[in-house]
Structure 1
């Protein structure tokens, strides 16, 4: 009887152990299934977040703003600066302008015309726009850096154009009589040094030259030299040497002086007095 009872107890223990193992196995499978279900969901949220970030960066870099980096200019001409903006989608422009000389010169959809500049807006379509700034009668004071700035829903972008002056020839006046020779260079750029020659002789050290700069950035240069008596067989030459350009801007051969009559001598003396007065005023101021 004891043997039979022990056998029944052993069988009961085996069934309980098997039941526990089945329950554990079921829980493991359920947990694995739940994890398998959650994993794709987490992956999906990560994918959506990455995609959203990528689109934001693309939108930011999808806006292009184009200008000419360098722009040569000549005095007295009109200089036009163009800023082209394009986007892969509709542009929500908040501010679009040309800046220069510590000021806002031209603004989007505010076309204007002033004596010194013009501003014009062009819309090709909802994603392409242009802003054009024209500087009227360009002067050296206008040279420098100009910035095109765009503020849109996609962010802030800017580009720049640097205007470089190619030179301003200005006007040249020269005269000569029995005692003096002179050259005046008005409205030139850049400034320079007046060289004097008579034949092969360099007389530059004997001249008196003044140079001043006006409000437009142009130079006015006046140079005088004494004419030696009895040495008028060879013509005098005055020229403007511009070191920054490494060249002569003007080369003037003064005519030989003939014997002047009373009227011609008086006119010559009057001109000398005017020039000397200008020279003295420049030296004083």
Structure 2
């Protein structure tokens, strides 16, 4: 087992072997979150090639293989071979797709592989807010990457110290960040801002206003009025 691993590493890291097969690709690529992306390896040779197999592998996933001639491809991926290029399409890139991909070619005259390191840019995610309690405002960002935090403001006043925050990792490698603010005035405007811990800047701001009389309880007031009415009737009957 240990004798085989160095051989595999040498094969996967080689640009070409006998037969002068050459693969060319951009080694480091940062792709946009959730934006369809195509990785491409250009193929050239000093002699005509009789192709045995072309495919893609991923270092971080031993079961990953995308073969243009097979219908059994990894979910969310497409691969194609034109004779001059081997491409791998990532339909909806997320942080779970980061890693080292190898375009591989086997021919009767030789073989080769080329590495492409893929990283994901920032994901702002989707915003939502609600009032879980009469005196609370909740602000959430789902699908955030890298991890961030939520700060609260009333105009220029920072209210973050009056809030609590939770951060959960999703299956695709993004984060779901939720913060709950204890509010003081129902008619005030508030702003929750998503702060990127990696980039040290705000990625998105959301402003909203707490509904007027959000903590009123009309049912309780109606019950009180009914109680007073019955009390007056009882007093009239007594006299």
Q: Does 1:236 align with 2:190?
A: yes
TM-score, normalization: structure 1? Answer: 0.62
The structure with the larger Rg is 1
For 2:9, the equivalent position in structure 1 comes to none
For 1:144, the equivalent position in structure 2 comes to 99
Q: Which has the higher helix share?
A: 1
Using the TM superposition, give the Cα deviation of residue 109 of structure 1 relative to its aligned residue in structure 2, in angstroms.
Answer: 3.8
- Taking the aligned partners of 2:153 and 2:198, their CA distance within structure 1 comes to 22
For 1:204, the equivalent position in structure 2 comes to 160
Using the TM superposition, give the Cα deviation of residue 90 of structure 1 relative to its aligned residue in structure 2, in angstroms.
Answer: 1.2
For 2:81, the equivalent position in structure 1 comes to 121
For 1:134, the equivalent position in structure 2 comes to 89
Q: What 5-or-longer segments of structure 2 have no aligned partner?
A: 1-15, 220-239
Q: Secondary structure at the match of 1:254?
A: strand
Q: Does 1:98 align with 2:56?
A: yes
Deviates more, 1:205-214 or 1:96-105: 96-105
CA offset digits 1:52-79 (Å, max 9, x no partner): xxxxxx9837321012222232233222
Using the TM superposition, give the Cα deviation of residue 219 of structure 1 relative to its aligned residue in structure 2, in angstroms.
Answer: 1.1
CA offset digits 1:238-258 (Å, max 9, x no partner): 111011122212211121442
CA offset digits 1:212-258 (Å, max 9, x no partner): 01111121111101112xx4564222111011122212211121442
Q: Which has the higher strand share?
A: 2
Change (3 A) 1:99 1:263: farther
For 1:185, the equivalent position in structure 2 comes to 141
> Which of 82, 107, 116 is 2:67 aligned to?
107
CA offset digits 1:25-48 (Å, max 9, x no partner): xxxxxxxxxxxxxxxxxxxxxxxx
Q: Does 1:168 align with 2:123?
A: yes
Change (3 A) 1:261 1:211: closer
Change (3 A) 1:193 1:260: closer
> Which of 215, 240, 245 is 2:171 aligned to?
215
Q: What 5-or-longer segments of structure 1 have no aligned partner?
A: 1-57, 124-128, 266-285
Contact 2:190 2:209 in 1 (8 A): yes
> Which of 33, 58, 68 is 1:75 aligned to?
33
CA offset digits 1:60-103 (Å, max 9, x no partner): 37321012222232233222122221111111333322111223
CA RMSD of aligned residues (A): 3.0
- Taking the aligned partners of 1:95 and 1:78, their CA distance within structure 2 comes to 26
> Which of 39, 43, 55 is 1:85 aligned to?
43
Higher relative contact order (CA 8 A, sep 6+): 2
Contact 2:196 2:203 in 1 (8 A): yes
TM-score, normalization: structure 2? Answer: 0.72
Change (3 A) 1:95 1:115: closer
Q: How many residues align?
A: 202
For 1:276, the equivalent position in structure 2 comes to none
Using the TM superposition, give the Cα deviation of residue 211 of structure 1 relative to its aligned residue in structure 2, in angstroms.
Answer: 0.8
